[in-house]
A and B are shown apart, each in its own frame.
Chain A
């Protein structure tokens, strides 16, 4: 795993004419994990998008080193295509992947069109896409939504493994996430 780092310096986020949070700072280096917690609408997803560089921060800066992988509520898989074909599109871009399909319990679903998959199955598929990307910094927005208990355990295990090999996990979730050495950042402390 390449050396990676992600740091937020004094981030302020604005949504419309409303400030969601201000003065938010943290720094994570190789092998660390952070859970962003807070009530609905407090800006967890906005923060994830700012960290990913997909949305501008109203104030403050984000420093990133290493490739970034994102899983949010949209799986980014073509709904009309069979799952195998939709995942193969990303494999062609990200390079060949090894065994993440079996690991995520998707092997039997490869010829099912993505639109017929359940919420949890789509989440698993998005995680397969993330694993195939081999990104150093994982940004997971509500990764446990729709997953059964086995799925939750699987995500926690994947995150632990990712941190063990030197990756970074940032998890935005209001559900408890079981991961040793997980830091918590409560956005309620930064309400503007």
Chain B
């Protein structure tokens, strides 16, 4: 079983990270940086205010960046009949979804964590806060990846699925955002653990929920 696993991951990374289907990892990162850059323009040059709210903005930008590739996570493969061919070869949808979560996370999680360094300079947050933001992103982005894949599978094949998907991810991501951004408040470090816990729950249920959604979309 390790053979197809590696082959699938390689294909997914080629498509999502390197941008075989438009954009790749650069698009979410540029989007993320653009939001971080625009925010000081909108709020004005009030350094203490920017520093106090900057962490939260980074979190919202990360959430929106994770949604960007939503419409190409599951739908194209369903349309092209890839899932049919995998099913005929006895490769479980759950396995494919698990691989895709990993590939999606690799294509936006680590790049966003890197981009958070210049973004933190743009909104003027200090090193200690940046450390917590980075830890929060490390704990929270896998959950965002899982959530995006699950919603992409649930909305695949629906009319207006992409727009609907984005709309569905946002409320479901509220716990990640509350705990993740909440960890930046004074004495809020326990938020990191809760963010990680919520991520783990999403990582655990997504393969099964998305697998079932794909099977039902096929028939």
Chain A residues engaging chain B, CB cutoff 8 angstroms? 49, 52-56, 67-70, 72, 74-81, 89-90, 92-94, 129, 133, 135
Chain B interface, DSSP helix/strand/loop, else mixed: helix
Instruction: Say whether chain A's binding surface is mostly helix, strand, loop, or mixed.
Output: loop
Name the B residues within 8 Å of A55 (CB-CB).
Answer: 218-219
| 23 A–B contacts, CB within 8 A, in A order | A49-B219, A52-B84, A52-B88, A53-B87, A54-B218, A55-B218, A55-B219, A67-B89, A69-B88, A74-B80, A75-B80, A75-B81, A76-B85, A77-B80, A78-B15, A78-B80, A80-B15, A80-B21, A81-B20, A89-B11, A93-B3, A93-B4, A93-B7
Q: Are A54 and B89 in contact (CB under 8 A)?
A: no
Question: Do A89 and B80 touch (CB < 8 A)?
Answer: no
- Would you call A92 and B219 a contact (CB within 8 A)? no
Bound CA–CA A89/B134 (angstroms) = 36
CB-CB contacts below 8 Å: B130-168 with A: none
Instruction: Report whether B81 and A133 are in contact in the complex, using a CB–CB cutoff of 8 Å.
Output: no
- Interfacial chain A residues near B81, Cβ < 8 Å: 72, 74-76
Number of residue pairs A-B, CB distance < 8 angstroms: 58
| Identity of the chain A residue whose Cβ is nearest the Cβ of B15 in the assembled complex | A78
For B21, the chain A residues whose CB sits under 8 A away are 80
Q: How far is the CA of A36 from the CA of B193 in the complex (A)?
A: 59
Asked if B82 CB lies within 8 Å of chain A CBs, one says yes
Beyond known contacts A56-B219, A135-B88: 18 more, CB 8 A cutoff: A52-B84, A53-B87, A54-B218, A55-B219, A69-B88, A70-B85, A70-B88, A74-B80, A76-B81, A78-B20, A78-B80, A79-B80, A80-B20, A81-B20, A89-B11, A90-B85, A92-B3, A94-B89
